[in-house]
Structure 1
Amino acid sequence: MTFAVTVDLVMLTIRDGALCALLIRRAIPPYQGNSALPGGFVLADEDLDAAAERELVEETGLRGAGHLEQLGSYGAPGRDPRGRVVTIAYLALVPDAPAPRAGSDAAAADWVPVTRLPDLAFDHGRILADGIERARAKLEYTPLAAAFCPPEFTIAELRGVYEAVWDTRLDPRNFHRKVTSTDGFVEATGRSTAGERGRPAQLFTRGAAPVLYPPLLRRGQLPALS
């Protein structure tokens, strides 16, 4: 029995106000012509992070991400018809994502709204669902939402991230109050937007806090009991 290790990438960005995932269309068997996550086999002389970065470039032409972390490992027997294959999945959050360019064993690559996902090859549907939930949960307790924003952003832009990732509408005044009163979440730059219609908006950067207290909970979520 053959045994191999692969990496797969759950890449998320926000385009036109919607949370989108990067998908490729496979150019080779198995599942030729099906949609899948970008990824591939780990080479004998590279570590996992290097393999993830290489596959990203080879299959999509994209380089780098605003945030990259290991999501989990997936190794159910039969998940890959080519043999016994364990994959290490990564979650990447990308601000201002450019249009991807297909290459290597990908016939096409595109950002797809997570509300309109096709059936995916292998067990990539489960991996993608886990990545989306990881991102949604981390927005409650960490300042990770800023990874979707440019270096300087308005509170309205940050709110747009939460609304896209959580797929819900948030009250602007309540959100502004919570964000600006949470220690270390955002820091004012002293600058404002200019040249736009309406009142200039204050610009912020990501603060130094690794976790948010109190957390920004999704609707219907309850804080954990201590």
Structure 2
Amino acid sequence: INYAIDAEAIRTTILGGRADLFGQMLHPWNYSGYNPKKKWYGYDQAKAKALLKEAGYEKGFKMELVATNGRYPGDKATCEAIAGMVKKVGVNATCNSQRFPLFKKLHRAYKAGKKKGAAAYYMGFGNGGGDSSGVLRGTSSCKGAWSGMCFKELDALIDKANATVDEKKQQMAFEAVTDKMKELATHKIVVKIHDVLGHRANLKWVPRHDETLLPWEIEVLGMN
């Protein structure tokens, strides 16, 4: 399914270019693991069809794509676009875009096995605190609150990276986690969305990556 989703089309149309293609679930401000050279799966419809056939799904399958509505820029439109893209390779996906409380309820129901059937989730992986293991455990581990999967080997790699003291070795260990995630195709990393902000010319202010607005960090210029 990774190959069926045209992330570049989503980036340039729905998001108006205000996003970057991204190759990992660690941000530049995470304390360890980010590597700007990492790349994720691109767009290749023919390859998507071939891999589905190889996996025994030549005729496709039904899937619900659950997304938020109004939480992230273009979330509903992106959900609908992805559902349309995967249909072209035979996956009968329906987009279910809901406000966050219901999105959370649906996610929890699928995770607990109370709601049956194949499902995928379109959600953010931001991590304002900079904790590398936190975002990986939360989104990708067996017990992660926002994870929809369980791979013991991936959990072991995350734990190993988190417990590594040497900075260079820890960087390599977290990169190994990203490599394993790509090997397992745990996610389709669509884009890293830009924060779009505006303020008056007489304000001196540098936005924070954790999206927190602290008034004492804002300086008004030209006042006595």
The question of a shared fold, defined as TM-score above 0.5 by the shorter chain, is answered with no
Give the number of the structure with larger relative contact order, counting CA–CA contacts within 8 Å between residues 6 or more apart: 2
TM-score of the superposed pair, with normalisation by structure 1: 0.27
Could you say which structure has the higher strand fraction? 1
TM-score of the superposed pair, with normalisation by structure 2: 0.27
